Chains A and B, each alone.
Chain A
Amino acid sequence: DAGVIQSPRHEVTEMGQEVTLRCKPISGHDYLFWYRQTMMRGLELLIYFNNNVPIDDSGMPEDRFSAKMPNASFSTLKIQPSEPRDSAVYFCASSFGTRNTEAFFGQGTRLTVV
């Protein structure tokens, strides 16, 4: 397996534009996580899914952020409209089961909103 695949690796966009980040989890994994990493706040959990169903989205900053998982092999995180304070590295991770299992991370998407 190629691991968790995220795209794009880098995204530069203007304030007010819509941004869509994509993630392909490891095949067979039933949990998918979206995190945001900044120097100030560290690695924050935004939302996580179990079997394609959102379980906890309490970390989503505001209504401008939305996430979907239409099937077991694909998830998106959308920001609309984007703002400069959304600039960060966004990570997707997947895991199997809840019994103390390892989360496998993608390489992240570095988002810059100017």
Chain B
Amino acid sequence: TQLLEQSPQFLSIQEGENLTVYCNSSSVFSSLQWYRQEPGEGPVLLVTVVTGGEVKKLKRLTFQFGDARKDSSLHITAAQPGDTGLYLCAGANQGGKLIFGQGTELSVKP
């Protein structure tokens, strides 16, 4: 059974701080996706990483895929209140199955 463990589950920080969210598994995935979910809505894709060791940047967000394609991290620089939300990592296998981690509930206080 493929499982994704995400940490931390909850994170409360002040505006301007940096943070990192981790997503780990014992399984290899063909790709790793990061989603953000707002209350009352479904998750929305932020980024997909495909190649081991790949790094992608989206403004103040940096995403990294582990060399062995089993883990990933999301780093936010100078967090802002607008970054508040639920961040979810998701692993895809070649058969099309997409499973999610537990999520990280981020709160950025002004």
Contact = CB atoms under 8 A, between A and B. Distances in A.
Interface residues of B, number: 24
Interface of A: 4, 31, 33, 35, 41-45, 48, 50, 55-56, 91, 93, 95, 98, 100, 102-103, 105-108
Contacts of A55: 95-97
A41 B30 CA distance: 24
A44 B98 CA distance: 10
Nearest to A50: B96
Interface in B77-104: 88, 90, 92, 94-103
Contact of B44 (A35, A42, A105): A105
B43 A105 contact: yes
A108 B42 contact: yes
B100 A102 contact: no
Contact of B100 (A43, A48, A56): A43
A31 B40 CA distance: 23
A52 B100 CA distance: 22
B102 A42 contact: yes
Contacts of B102: 41-42
B31 interface: yes
